[in-house]
Structure formats: structure tokens, C-alpha cells
């Protein structure tokens, strides 16, 4: 049996188990368990693998608990052995130090492999398209630098094309999450985080704000609509022809705390996203932001190395600091 096939096989059983546990099986409302793109797929597989590995512990332990509690209950006439001084066995203890170590080692292997994997473009054959995401109070703004259009509270993407999201905020921290396409990333003021997602097929996917940001937070949900490439291009053309352009004043209006409808704009002020990111940085820090943001498509490797060298020269031991734009 090939590795893939075996995994599929195991998946089947785990689904069966999960189905029982979750009462209603994996209906389409179980977004995380219905991956619609390569990133979510990778994560889904990890969820399955880790579920199996922890089940290897959980199931026997619970069974053993039930057995021991029943067998050694204190009732008259219980014939089970009673050894009140038996309190040590090197063999046994070595065994149960080793079992979790082995499981953690296995799980650690898969985890680390995919951590590195997900930092990269999930689809090497297609050049990624960039979309910039800005979390505002309490709405999502999406700007398309390649198409020079913008949307608010809804996101349209081409299916089959990896999207490179650059995520920032002009408001308290939030988190950008489209479960069917893949896991989330924080949206933070003064820096741009990066997330690759791809929808394999056309469809509509629910998107969520997933880090609490105040009063209107629960209303920050949006839909992601994936369309075939041509349809997407047509949509862009339509947007260009029929909707107004976003001005600086429009943006300032959007920035004000409040919940709004969906909007679509045929253009947005040039370099607006970079400005939003740089607004909370200053001086020389801006170069870094500028240098990092409009990374040419396909030039991923050089970007990666600069990231790595930066990591090595970092003197701080606090994670999350190294990509901050204020940190030189």
C-alpha cells in the first residue's frame, strides 16, 4: 500500500470515529474538515494524523481506567490482588516514559515538516497573485495591487491560483481566517504578515474575524468567492467599468469605527497599503517595509533567504518580533 493510499485509508477510519464523536458526521458545516484548497488540505491531514496519534494514548488509557476502577473496587469478596506496598517497577515506568516520547517525536516530525511547508507557495506551478488585507474597525478591506481594485467585506479570487495575502491592520489586532481554504494569520498594525491560500475549485467560502477587536467584532464576517480565471478577469473588468474609485477621504471614512456594508472600488490610492503599514513605523524602518512588500512574484527564494539571515541576526529572544518593522 502506498503512503498516500494508506493515509487515505486511515482518514476513512478516523472520519468514521470523528463522525460518531461529532454526532452529525462531517456535514458541510464542518468547514475545517472540508478542505477546499491545498493549504487547508495539509492542515486537515495534520489534524487527522495528530488525532490518530493522540487516540493511541487516549483510548487505551480510558479503557485501562475503566478496567482498573472496576477490578480493584473495594467490595467484600473482591478476589483481585491487593498489594499495598507495590509502588515501583522500573520496567513499567520506563515503558510509560518512552510511549509519550515516541508519540511526541512522531508528531513533532510531521509538525515541523508542515510548518516550513506552509511558509511557501502551496502551488509551485502557478505564480501567486497578491491581495492585501487590512483589518479595520470593524470591517475588512481588500486591495488588489495587481488589478488596482479594492473591495470591502467581500473577497473575490480566481480558483486554482495561489493567493499571497499580505495582512495588516489600521485598528486593534485581528485575525484573518477562511477555514475551508486554510488557517488564519494575525492582522496587526505597523506590520504585514504573509499567508498563502488557494481555492482548488470555484465556490463560496466563509471568512471570519478571529481575534477579538471590540464592539463590532462579531459582524466582521465575509464571504470569499472563488471563480474560474476568466470569470474573475471579467469581474475585474466589470468593477473597473461600473464602480467608483476609492479616495483618501473614502478610506478615512472607512477607518472610522463602525459596521458597514459591502463595497467595491474600481481603484484605490497608489501605495495605500504600504502607507498603512508604514504609518506606525518611522524613519529608516520604512525601507524595510517597502522592500519587503511588493516582492516580485516568483522571486520567493531570495525573499526567503533574507528572512532567514534576518532571523539569525536577531538578538531578541521574543518570537513575533523579528518581522516587526520597528525592530532594527
Partner 1 sequence: MAQHHDHGHGHDHDHHEEHEQLKVLGFWIFVVTDCVLFGTLFATYAVMMNSFAGGPTGQELFQLPGVIASTFILLTSSFTSGLAVLAMNKGNVKQLIAWLAVTGLLGLSFVVLEVTEFMHLISEGATMGTSGYWSAFYTLVGTHGLHVTLGLFWMTALIFQLKRRGITAVTRRKITNLSLYWHFLDVVWIFLFTVVYLMGVM
Partner 2 sequence: MWENIKDFASTFFVTGDPLIYGADVSIVLSMVAIVFVLTKYKKWGWLWREWLTTVDHKRIGIMYLIASLLMLFRGGVDALLMRLQLAFPNVEFLNSEHYNAIFTTHGTIMILFMAMPMMFALFNMVVPLQLGARDVAYPFLNALSFWLFMLGAMLFNLSFVIGGSPDAGWLSYPPLSQNEFSPGPGQNFYIWGIQISGIGSLATGINFIVTILKMRAPGMKLSKMPLFSWSVLSSCIMIIFAFPILTVTLALLFLDRFAGAHFFTMDGGGNPMMYLNLIWMWGHPEVYIVVVPAFGIFSEIVATFSRKKIFGYKSMVWAMMIIAVVSFFTWAHHFFTMGTSASVIAFFAISTMVVGIPTGVKVFNWLFTMYRGRISFKQPMLWTIAFIPCFVIGGATGVMLAVAPADYQYHNSYFLVAHFHQVLIGGVVFGYLAGIYYWWPKLFGFKLDEKLGKWGFWFWNIGFYVCFMPQYALGFMGMTRRYYTYGWDRGWADMNLVSTVGAFMMGIGFIFQVWQIAYSIKHGERDTTGDPWNGRTLEWSIPSPAPFYNFAVVPQVKEMDDWWATKEAKANGTYKEQPAKLEPIHMPKNSGIPFIMANFWFLVGFGFTFGWVWMAVIGFIGVFACMWARSFQYDTDYYVPVEEVRRTEASLGRVV
- Considering only residues 235 through 294, tell me which ones interact with partner 1, judged by CB under 8 A: 282-283
Output the CA–CA distances (angstroms, integers) from residue 326 to 148, 267, 308, in the order listed: 28, 30, 18
> Minimum CB separation from partner 2 for residue 1, in Å?
24
Of the ranges 1-9, 15-23, 146-154, 241-249, which one interacts with partner 2 (CB under 8 A)?
Answer: 15-23
Q: Does 6 bind partner 2 (CB under 8 A)?
A: no
Q: Kindly state the cell numbers that stand for 176.
A: 484573518
Nearer to partner 1, 9 or 316 (CB): 316
Among positions 20, 97, 241, 261, the unique one binding partner 2 when judged by CB under 8 A: 97
Q: Is 1 helix (H, G, I), strand (E, B) or coil?
A: coil
Which strands sit side by side in the sheet containing 163-169, from one edge to the other?
193-197, 163-169, 129-136, 139-144, 149-152, 263-265
Q: Does 327 bind partner 1 (CB under 8 A)?
A: yes
> Minimum CB separation from partner 2 for residue 11, in Å?
14
Count of residues engaged in binding partner 2, rule: CB under 8 A: 106
Q: Does 30 bind partner 2 (CB under 8 A)?
A: yes
Nearer to partner 1, 80 or 318 (CB): 318
Q: Kindly state the cell numbers that stand for 319.
A: 518570537
Binding partner at 54 among partner 1, partner 2, none, C-beta below 5 to 8 Å by kind: partner 2
Q: Does 119 bind partner 1 (CB under 8 A)?
A: no
Distance CA 135, CA 172 (A): 8
Neighbour count for residue 86 (Cβ, 10 Å): 8
> Minimum CB separation from partner 1 for residue 281, in Å?
9
Radius of gyration of the chain (CA): 25
Among positions 8, 9, 119, 262, the unique one binding partner 2 when judged by CB under 8 A: 119
Among positions 161, 203, 245, 280, the unique one binding partner 2 when judged by CB under 8 A: 280
Backbone angles phi, psi at 315, to 5 degrees: -95, -15
Residues 305-324 that bind partner 1 (CB under 8 A): 315-318, 321
> Minimum CB separation from partner 2 for residue 242, in Å?
28
Q: What is the contact mask toward partner 1 in residues 125 to 164, using x (rule: CB under 8 A)?
A: ----------------------------------------
Binding partner at 315 among partner 2, partner 1, none, C-beta below 5 to 8 Å by kind: partner 1
Q: Does 23 bind partner 2 (CB under 8 A)?
A: yes
Distance CA 124, CA 162 (A): 9
Cβ contact 198:122 at 8 Å? yes
Neighbour count for residue 71 (Cβ, 10 Å): 11
Q: Is 266 helix (H, G, I), strand (E, B) or coil?
A: coil
Distance CA 164, CA 173 (A): 20
Instruction: For residue 284, give the DSSP letter.
Output: T
> Minimum CB separation from partner 1 for residue 312, in Å?
17
- Burial class of residue 53 in the structure, from the number of CB atoms within 10 Å of its CB (0-12 exposed, 13-18 middle, 19+ buried): middle
Binding region for partner 1 (CB under 8 A): 282-283, 315-318, 321, 326-328
Amino acid at each position: 500500500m502506498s503512503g498516500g493510499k494508506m493515509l487515505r485509508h486511515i482518514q476513512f477510519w478516523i472520519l468514521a470515529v470523528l463522525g460518531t464523536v461529532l454526532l452529525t458526521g462531517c456535514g458541510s458545516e464542518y468547514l475545517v474538515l472540508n478542505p477546499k484548497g491545498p493549504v487547508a488540505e495539509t492542515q486537515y491531514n495534520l489534524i487527522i494524523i495528530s488525532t490518530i496519534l493522540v487516540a493511541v494514548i487516549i483510548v487505551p488509557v480510558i479503557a485501562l481506567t475503566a478496567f482498573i476502577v472496576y477490578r480493584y473496587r473495594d467490595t467484600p469478596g473482591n478476589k483481585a490482588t491487593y498489594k499495598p506496598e507495590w509502588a515501583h517497577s522500573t520496567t513499567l515506568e520506563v515503558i510509560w516514559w518512552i510511549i509519550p516520547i515516541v508519540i511526541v517525536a512522531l508528531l513533532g516530525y510531521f509538525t515541523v515538516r508542515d510548518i516550513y511547508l506552509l511558509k511557501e507557495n502551496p502551488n509551485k506551478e502557478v505564480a501567486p497573485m497578491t491581495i492585501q488585507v487590512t483589518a479595520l474597525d470593524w470591517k475588512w478591506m481588500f486591495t488588489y495591487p495587481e488589478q488596482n481594485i479594492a473591495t470591502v467585506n467581500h473577497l473575490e479570487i480566481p480558483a486554482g491560483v495561489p493567493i499571497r495575502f499580505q495582512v495588516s491592520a489600521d485598528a486593534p489586532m485581528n485575525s484573518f481566517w477562511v477555514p475551508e481554504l486554510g488557517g488564519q494569520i494575525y492582522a496587526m498594525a505597523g506590520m504585514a504578515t504573509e499567508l498563502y491560500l488557494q481555492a482548488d475549485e470555484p465556490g463560496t467560502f466563509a471568512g471570519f474575524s478571529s481575534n477579538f477587536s471590540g464592539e463590532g467584532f462579531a459582524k466582521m464576517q465575509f464571504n470569499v468567492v472563488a471563480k474560474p480565471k476568466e470569470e474573475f478577469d471579467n469581474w475585474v473588468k466589470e468593477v473597473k467599468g461600473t464602480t467608483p474609485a476609492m479616495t483618501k477621504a473614502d478610506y478615512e471614512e472607512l477607518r472610522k469605527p463602525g459596521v458597514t456594508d459591502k463595497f467595491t472600488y474600481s481603484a484605490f490610492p497608489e501605495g495605500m497599503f504600504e502607507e498603512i503599514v508604514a504609518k506606525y513605523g518611522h524613519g529608516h524602518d520604512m525601507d524595510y517595509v517597502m522592500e519587503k512588500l511588493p516582492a516580485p512574484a516568483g522571486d520567493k527564494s531570495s525573499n526567503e533567504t533574507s528572512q532567514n539571515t534576518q532571523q539569525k541576526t536577531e538578538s531578541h529572544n521574543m518570537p513575533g518580533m523579528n518581522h516587526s518593522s520597528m525592530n532594527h
